[in-house]
Structure 1
Amino acid sequence: MHNETPNVLVAEVPRVVPIVQEAWGDCFALTICTSMQEATKLLDDRFDVIVCGTHFAESKMFDLLRIAKSLPEVQAIPFLCVRVLDGELDSMAYQGISSACHALGAAGFVDLNRWRREYGFHQAREKLREVVFSLATHPA
């Protein structure tokens, strides 16, 4: 059973935190961490979704994903990998990162800059919110 407002752990770099708070603050109960030490401690808490940026903690997204999926009490929580910074990935890089995310057990990988190009800024933001909400309320 899930809360009405999904509880989301966001692991991201400090400069993205205000963007996440502005975009998601009204939609989710957010817990934000910016270091690997914080993130691993927070995995003991109960979340509906974990969202991790590719640049988190000096690009340790895959490390956090591996840890989360290795813990029996955490492994069923959907883990979404998101790339927010540094422009859109080319197709080969996108496929490679997406494949690696899925192979390690992530629910998905989003290159937000790709979505911004495809859907527009506001629609990309809304689509990402919808994905997170869907993962929180209908985990795979």
Structure 2
Amino acid sequence: MKYRIVVAIRPEDAGLMREVMGDEFDLVMCTSLQEAQAALTPDVDMIACGVHFDDGRMFDLLKYVKADKALRVIPFWGVLRDEGMLSSAITRGIRTAMKTLGANGLFNLSQMRTDDQPDILYRQLRAALLQSLAGSEPRQP
């Protein structure tokens, strides 16, 4: 069984997310808030949402998920790829706001060192995700 992950992302980031996630997961790619909301069903195992998703609607999606009793138990992770454009204070602010609203955390892909062999790093990230998902409590439908 593959874990189902809703990936709410800008269209231009979809290729990178497919590369990062590999084929170990059943990815449901969404590029708009409405698309993501429609994809969110109780059989989703995780949500990965880009900070810049749908012109900055990540927090709208997070609030939507946390307001729904059936969805709020799904782990919600923010994903940032800023290529060093944002200051560490802004990144900290995003992370803090996400945690305050109930997100599990923020993956900053720009901080990952992929110069030499990104496949190894992405494989390690996928292994950590698999371990995390396997260790989480089963959700009740």
Q: Give the TM-score, by structure 1 length.
A: 0.84
Please tell me whether the aligned partners of residues 49 and 132 of structure 1 are also in contact (alpha carbons under 8 angstroms).
Answer: no
The residue type paired with residue 12 of structure 2 is R
Of 3, 7, 23 in structure 2, the residue corresponding to residue 6 of structure 1 is 3
- Answering whether residue 17 of structure 2 is matched by residue 20 of structure 1, we say yes
Range with greater deviation from structure 2 (29-38 or 119-128): 119-128
CA distance in 2 between counterparts of 1:22 and 1:123 reads 12
Alpha carbon RMSD of aligned pairs, Å? 2.3
The residue type paired with residue 40 of structure 2 is L
Q: Which has the higher helix share?
A: 1
Size of the aligned set, in residue pairs, is 136
3-state SS, counterpart of residue 58 of structure 1: coil
In the alignment, which residue of structure 2 is the partner of 1:130? 127
1:121 positional shift:
4.1
In the alignment, which residue of structure 2 is the partner of 1:97? 94
CA distance in 1 between counterparts of 2:58 and 2:44 reads 17
Q: Deviations over 1:23-45 (max 9, x none)?
A: 32411011111011101111135
CA distance in 2 between counterparts of 1:127 and 1:102 reads 24
- Answering whether residue 39 of structure 2 is matched by residue 29 of structure 1, we say no
- Answering whether residue 67 of structure 2 is matched by residue 70 of structure 1, we say yes
3-state SS, counterpart of residue 7 of structure 2: strand
Q: Deviations over 1:80-132 (max 9, x none)?
A: 00102x31332211211111111111111111111237x97445433432343
The residue type paired with residue 133 of structure 2 is A
- Answering whether residue 72 of structure 2 is matched by residue 87 of structure 1, we say no
**CA distance 1:43–1:125, shift in 2 (3 Å):** same
3-state SS, counterpart of residue 26 of structure 1: coil
Gaps of 5+ in 2: none
3-state SS, counterpart of residue 92 of structure 1: helix
Q: Give the TM-score, by structure 2 length.
A: 0.83
1:20 positional shift:
1.8
- Identity score, percent: 33
Gaps of 5+ in 1: none
In the alignment, which residue of structure 2 is the partner of 1:109? 106
In the alignment, which residue of structure 1 is the partner of 2:50? 53
